[in-house]
Amino acid sequence: MCGIVGYIGSKEKTINVLLKGLERLEYRGYDSAGIAYLDQNQIQLIKKSGKLNCLEKSVDRNLLTEMGIGHTRWATHGEANEINAHPHRHGKIVAVHNGIIENMNALKKELEEKGISFVSDTDTEVFVALLNDAFEKYQDMKKAIEYTMSKVEGSYAIVCFNEDDKEHLYVMKKDSPLLIGVGMGEMFVASDYQAFREFTKKYVLLDDFEYGIIGKNAWHIYKDGKEVEKKLEVLDEQDILSNKEGYDCYMHKEIYDIPEVLTNLLTFYETKEIHSIPDYCKYNKIQIVACGSAYHAGCVGKNLFAHFAHFPVEIEYASEYRYQPILADEHTLVIFVSQSGETADTIHCAKKIKEMHIDSLAIVNVYNSTLSRLTDYVYYMRAGEERAVATTKGYSSQIALFIVILREWMKAKNTWTVSLEEQYQEGKRKMLQVIQPCFKNFEHFSWISNIISKPMNFFIGRQSDYALSLEASLKLKEVSYLNSSAYAAGELKHGTISLVEKGTPVFAIATDKNTYEKTKSNLMEVKARGAYVILTTLDTVDQEIDVDEKIIVPDVGALFQPIITIIPFQLLSYQVAKSLDLDIDHPRNLAKSVTVE
């Protein structure tokens, strides 16, 4: 989603820092980009629709200027064209924005009645016009900011500057992340520290309703008119900067990262005592709240708790949870799952739970992200930077953390038996042993042309195989744009089977030994109606079954099986997208960090 960069400091560095920062934020997903800087005391704007290289071609990298702002835009209000691209300017002020101004129509009307006209369809332009109008009235940026913040509703991370003040950048924050990178004689501003981590490891995190004035040697942050003291954070070195390392795209590379990520993660949580563990005995209910693939990882977690701990877990999409009555109390643990830790819907739910003083735990990847600071307990995924929009190693590490939490939970309740510990150790050993050879086996599916060009793909499974079907289906559609849906295997016959015709691809995932025979019957039902059936099952079950294709995965035991079973589907999605020559790491319309509702 939108990425913000700002810089004040060395005139030789400004343009380079802005473009580098925008490159580092590309992974978030965007459809236009732009920069603004001061040249001969005048604001200059360069904006382009499309990818960053369109902007880069129009920018003179040798240009000398001490201050600038940049933006990658993921369209919310108005088409992804040059006019709607950020930065936006009104009068003396130019700004970039991440978030959504919810009362833009009312504000726009008020400003239009004063004779102010607008060129774009964006809510950002309304914000800038309001700020400029306030500046014209008060002739003081701080007062103008305070007035503007009191008028706007919604979410915003804003960086702006005033044409008449080449000494300062101004920032404002509510519900969208914003950080100040602190250098020597230079300052950075960004929506994510990836944008400036090459230049400084020190940063300050802004909290909601804070605003600031940033000079090249000092920053001042305010809230409600008063200056606030801020803690200087230092970037965690375990959060290693990622590059493609010879792979053709990040998604492919990140799938191959999985074994190392899991080895490190499991070792860390088995040996380190430093993370603070909730008093699990206190809870009689778990609620899992997440979005997208993180929700699908939660579905696997729910299954693990049902089958191993016989403990009921509720799971909800964050976008739904936040609008329903919260049926939780002091005996409930709410688990939020999020790779980025910045997903707006998830953050809103975490804030609500915090206000209600209900215990919360985050499974999160990005260190010091908003979610990690809102919850009582944090289990870092330790997956390293994930740059492909479609999550792979992130999803796998979320599942691994559910296994870690299940083990801790059952140990706390004295229900983790010797035999379960043996299953865990043996499952982990096998999983880590077979995962590399799996990559080789599933690196080339000869039959993918049979699914490309079909109007619909179905994924079916039961229990954890159903949870995996949800993720396999999402992965395929997001990177390859092939239409696909996942169903609980037993549900197909209650309506959807009417869509199955000759050649319709149906992926049946049947690795759960308890339901294998039942899923087998369901796939025979679709086979009888002409479906092209691709069965995924274990190397330890009887595979004498008449299907079109088989994906045989090694049996590593029920605890760790989901981690292995999803691998062929991650690789399949990558292969299909590659054969269709698509932009695998940046699928159209998608964003890595979904910071709007």
Residues in contact with ligand F6R by the rule CB under 6 A: 291-294, 338-340, 343, 346, 390-391, 474, 478, 593-594
CA distance 16 to 22: 10
Q: Return the number of the residue (257 or 555) whose C-beta is nearest ligand F6R.
A: 257
> For residues 66 and 38, is the Cβ–Cβ distance under 8 A?
yes
Q: How far is the CB of 460 from ligand F6R (least distance, A)?
A: 20
Compute CA distances 446 → 348, 404, 544, 579, whole Å. 45, 36, 21, 12
Question: Per the residue annotation, which of 2, 160, 249, 349 is the catalytic one?
Answer: 2
With respect to ligand F6R, which residue has the nearer C-beta, 337 or 410? 337
Instruction: Find the residue with minimal CB distance to ligand F6R.
Output: 292
Residue 281 among the catalytic residues: no
Rounded CA-CA distance 514/103 in Å is: 53
Q: In the complex, what is the shortest distance from the CB of residue 477 to ligand F6R, in angstroms, rounded to a whole number?
A: 10
592 is a catalytic site residue: yes
Nearer to ligand F6R, 519 or 593 (CB): 593
* Closest CB to ligand F6R among residues 250, 311: 250
Residue of 108, 173, 527, 592 marked catalytic: 592
Residue for token pair 């998608």: 590
Q: Which is nearer to ligand F6R, 133 or 478 (CB)?
A: 478
Give the pair of three-digit tokens for residue 453: 């060009």
* Shortest Å, Cβ 534 to ligand F6R: 21
The nearest distance, CB 338 to ligand F6R, in angstroms, is 3
559, HSE (Cβ side, Cα atoms, 13 Å):
24
Residue type for position 52: L
Pairing of strands 313-317, 285-290: parallel
Element (H, E) at 409: helix 393-412
Least distance from ligand F6R to the Cβ atom of residue 343, Å: 3
Torsion of CA 438, 444, 446, 449, to 10 degrees: 120
**CB closer to ligand F6R out of 293 and 511:** 293
In whole angstroms, the minimum distance from the beta carbon of 19 to ligand F6R comes to 25
Instruction: Count CB neighbours of 381 within 10 A.
Output: 26
Residue 2 backbone phi and psi in degrees, to 5: -45, 145
CA atoms 116, 119, 121, 126: torsion sign: negative
Between CA 489 and CA 503 the distance in angstroms is 18
- Which residues are designated catalytic? 2, 592
